[in-house]
Each structure stands twice: as C-alpha cells, then as structure tokens.
Structure 1
Amino acid sequence: MTELMVLETGPLATIQDRGRAGQASLGIPRSGACDQRSYELANRLVGNKPGAAVIEATFGGLALRAEAEVVIATTGAPCAGAPLNAPTTLRPGEVLRLGPPRSGLRTYVAVRGGFAVSTVLGSRSTDLLSGLGPPPLRAGDLLPVGDESAPMPGVDLAAVADPAAGEVVVRVTPGPRADWFTPDALRGHTYTVSSNSNRIGVRLEGPSLQRIHEGELPSEGMALGAIQIPPSGLPVLFLADHPVTGGYPVIAYVATADLDACAQLRPGQSLRFTAQTR
C-alpha cells in the first residue's frame, strides 16, 4: 500500500473530509474541513472523488515524505516551499515541507486516492471537541493512501486568490437572540482575532457587548457560523468543531459565503461585521 510518512506536524495537523453532517440531533458534531472551498479544490486538483480525506495543516510546519510516487496538491493558506493550487508529483523519498504561510491560517494537502484512515460514524474527520475520528497527526505516523479516484482534471494551476492578509469584513444576519442586545450592537466595531482561537471557534478581542435583556437561557442548538456572546461580552464565532448546543445568546450568524474566509483568520488579524444585504 502506498503511504506518506509524517516527519513534522507544525502547530496542528489533522485529517479532515466533509464531516459528519446531519447528526446533530444525536449530539454528534459535523466537524470536517474548516475551509470547505479550499478542501474541495485540493481534491479536484488531484482527481479525487468528492468527500476524500485530506490533511488540514494549521500555520504550516507540516513535513511529509513520500514512500512511493504520489500526486499531491496544496490549497488554502500559501506556505513557503510548497506549490499552491496545482497538482505536483512527489517521488519516493521526496519531502513536502510547508513553511509559515504568508497569509491565512489553514493549508490543505490532498493526495490522489485520498488518505485511507479508518472512518468513524461515516467520516474520517478529526473532531477536537468530541474526540471523534483519528487523533491529530504526530511525527512518525504512516498515512495510507487510497486507490479510489476520478480522472485528473487537466489543470496546471487554479486561479484562486490567497486568503486576505488585512482586515476581513464578514456579512452577518440577525440571530435568535439579537434582541438581547442594542440594535446593530455587533456592527460598527473592529475586533482582533485572539490567540485562543481554534477549530471550535474564533475568539475575538475588542469592544465588550452589553446585554439589554438579562437572564439565563436553556441550552439551544448551535450551528456553524453562529456568533455567541458569553458573559465576557466578547464574541465567539463558531467553526467546524463547534458544540451542538449552548446556553449563551447567539446575536448573529455569519453568511454562508463568508465562512471559509473566517476559517482562514489568524491571531492578530482584524475582523469587522456588516449586515448582509440581498
């Protein structure tokens, strides 16, 4: 069986696919790739069938050695030392090494055939909150490569913009508890992404939002892109590994089209919310 050896992992590297959708009623989070657009592109570039498993590397640092000839592609955050948005061949013994990205946070590495790790509840995704799926990658791991693939797309380079390096403006729609806060409370402020952010959520630093309605909530369902306001008043924007329920008010939801940009926000980056218009 063809394999790739993990030599280094960087801050965090996990196996991800489309996730475990549709099981929230059972208490099972969706998880999956944070930046779905980059994930799907990586698979298309190597001719994988939809849903194949890839590596999601956080802030570079990943090093993989080919044990046999493989075709790979990297997408998302552009890392020094790695070809981006283009299929490339690794020959036996060659090493793919991701340096720090010049913008963005998460880089996706697809291999033709997909990573054939074991599935858990229909997905190969690592879920950091629930502990489902394979553990985060470690140096010395041997990753098996599958043999299911479609024809190569015949694309030398995908013309895709890099993740934004400056302030990111995200569109939002009102959440179920928007009336617990003053009108437009979330908009008009600039926030900074906290270093405490992870795959569960983007924690923001900046103006603290004050409630106009006090009281406690029973636990409510949580969705990808929900912006929850805990007692600190500082927003938390939920990403792929978010909990399925929560007891703090949700003031807004990020527009679906802007979720992938949120997945690429890095600590210290600025974020501003604006109303979504039709």
Structure 2
Amino acid sequence: MSEPAIEVLRAGALTTVQDLGRPSWAHLGVPRSGALDPGALRLANRLVGNPESAAGLEITLTGCDLRPTRATTVAVVGAEVDVRVGTRPGDTGRPLAVPGGTVLRIGPARRGLRSWLAVAGGITVTPVLGSRATDTLSGLGPAPLRDGDLLPVGAPAGPPAPVDVTVPVVPPAELHLAVRPGPRHDWFTPAALDRLLGTAYEVSPLSNRVGARLTGAPLPRAVAGELPSEGIVLGAVQVPADGQPLIFLADHPTTGGYPVIAVVDDVTPLAQARPGTTVTFHGSER
C-alpha cells in the first residue's frame, strides 16, 4: 500500500510548507523562516494531535484545494475562510475528519490574509538544516506548492483534541505596534522619530514573507553616509533610500545595509495584515 500523502489540486496564490523554522543559523546567513504566526500553527497542530513543531501549510489569501490519499484529520486556523470537506461545510478552529480521496477546499480569505493547516502526522518533506520550512528568500526548504504536488504525511502521533470549537481571532482594521529604538535611530532626524510614532502608515501591496513594506510619511535621515551591512533581526524597521519603513518578517535577510530606526516587539499581527491595513507605532514598555 502506498504511503499516505496530500495531493495538491489547486495550490492558490502562495501556499508553503512551514514549521517553527530553523533557528541558530543566522551566523551562516540563514534566517529562521517558519510560520508567520507560530501560535496559529501550534494551535492547528494541537487540534490534530501533532507535536507543536510538526510541519503544516501556510495558505495565503486565495485558499487551496487538497485531497488526502488516506483518511486523515486536519485543522484550519487563521483567516476567516470557508472550508468544505467534499460536499459538506467544515468549521475552522476544530479537528475535521477527511475521508481518503475526498477533496478538502479552503476558500479565499474574507478577513485576514493567511491560514494555517495541520494534518495528523504532519507534512514530512525532507528537512533542511533541521526544518521543513519554505524560505522564500534563500530558497531553502521545499518550493512553494504547485498544482499536482504530492506531499508525504507522517503517522499520527496522538488523537485529535477533544474540542468542538476554538475562539477565532478577528484581524483588526488598524494595527498598533510597539517598538524599541533601533541600533541606528541616531541616523535619523528628531522629526523622523516623531513622525514614526505620530503618524499612520499603510501596508503596501509589495509586502511578502520577507517584510511588510509601509507607505506614508517618509523618515528623513540626519546622516547621509553609507552604512556597512550589519545584522538584521525579526521585527527590524529598516528605512531604505525612499524613506518608507520596511518591517522585516520571518524570511528576512540576516544582514542589511540600510539603517534600522526601530525594532517591533511582536510582528505576529502583520501575518494577517492585508494591503491597505493601517499601522501605527508606539513606544514599547519593555
């Protein structure tokens, strides 16, 4: 008998395999990557009886269609989407039994941007540097899903969680992000720092898993010189030559040559931020 697998019938705009990433490789130029909302992936894994570190799918905006070759249990959390198991509707935020050969449809996101799908046993593509995560910047890990792909699935580790429903997190229309001063905040004028904390920005359509690009009032620099490349961390707010801030996300590079004015405490809310979402910053209490 063939090994259990998930057949990709419709990959959607961007569906990738993600786990909790590959930490401890930044010194070799490898970012952590992993799910943009690790808590959402952990929840999905718990719902189907997986270890929290198991690999699942991160599904962006347009949804996807999948078909397991054997009966399995899945869970979908994150954006507000319609889920169908064959001809019947399925709930997000709870374990769903999917018979073998039945099409599982995750519809387009009505609110939010991304969903995370866990399947009992986890997606068992070959690990790279200890992780199965797709890194869209470096190309490490499996390629983004394509129609016709066949994803191997492991043996279930435990029974599904005995829950009927979980409370969905509704993405807010406006994000308020706490920031701390960055290592090069002194490369900017006092007006730039006031502007960062005092005006609203919008998420640009050019945003992706590498970073959330913002549009709004440019941040003028006080130092016009070139900056040698230096380390970049998750949540770093880098300011390129056009003065528009860029918040680095999971697939960010490990070094960068533009000054970092601030660092966001928690970038998780940006995982659901559609283009046009309003973003404001305030000082961190840490």
Runs of 4+, deviation exceeding 3 Å: none
Q: For 2:130 and 2:115, locate their aligned partners in 1 and report how far apart those are by CA, in whole Å.
A: 23
Which residue in the other structure is 2:285 paired with?
A: 277
Alignment match, 1:132? 140
Residue in structure 2 matched with residue 188 of structure 1 by the alignment: 198
Counterpart CA distance in 1 for 2:34 and 2:165 is 25
Correspondence for 1:199: 209
Q: Is contact 2:63–2:109 with CA below 8 Å preserved after alignment?
A: no
- Among residues 201, 205, 209, which one is paired with 2:219 in the alignment? 209
How many residues were matched structurally? Answer: 275
- 1:28 Cα deviation from its structure 2 partner: 1.1
CA distance in 2 between partners of 1:47 and 1:252 (Å)? 39
**CA-to-partner distance for each residue in 1:131-160, whole Å, 9 max, x for gaps?**
100000001011111015234331221223
Q: Which of these residues, 155, 163, 169, is aligned with residue 161 of structure 1?
A: 169
* Residue aligning to 1:68: 70
Secondary structure in 2 matching 1:77: strand
Equivalences for 1:103-252 in 2 at 5 Å? Answer: 103-164=111-172, 166-181=173-188, 182=190, 183-252=193-262
Percent identity, please. 51
Deviation of 1:184 after TM superposition, in Å, equals: 2.8
Tell me, in whole angstroms, the C-alpha distance in 1 between the residues paired with 2:14 and 2:207: 13
- Gaps in structure 2 of 5+ consecutive residues: 85-90
Distance 1:149 1:160 in 2: 25
Give the root-mean-square deviation of aligned CA atoms: 1.3
Q: Out of 59-68 and 44-53, give the one that drifted further.
A: 59-68
Cα offset for 1:63? 0.6
1:245, 1:167 → 2: CA distance? 29
Instruction: Tell me if structure 2 keeps the 8 A contact 1:60–1:107.
Output: no
Listed one character per residue, the Cα deviations across residues 169-224 of structure 1 (whole Å, up to 9, x for unaligned) are 11111111112222333111111111111100001111111012221111110111
Q: Is the 8 A contact 1:60 1:79 kept in 2?
A: no
Out of 222-231 and 265-274, give the one that drifted further: 265-274
Distance apart, 1:106 and its partner CA: 1.0
2:46 paired residue number: 44
Residue identity matched to 1:4: I
Distance in 1 (alpha carbons) for counterparts of 2:156 and 2:268 = 27
Comparing 233-242 and 60-69, the one that deviates more: 60-69
Take 1:149 and 1:249, find their aligned partners in 2: how far apart are those partners? 46
1:88 counterpart residue number: 96
Provide the rounded CA distance (Å) in 2 between the counterparts of 1:8 and 1:260. 27
Please state how far the C-alpha of 1:162 moved relative to its aligned partner.
2.3
Q: Deviations over 1:209-246 (max 9, x none)?
A: 10122211111101111110000000111010000000
1:31 partner amino acid: S
- 2:204·2:213 contact (CA, 8 Å) conserved in 1? yes
Q: What amino acid is the match of 1:175?
A: G
How far the C-alpha of 1:66 sits from its partner, in A, is 2.1
Correspondence for 2:88:
none
TM value normalised by structure 2: 0.93
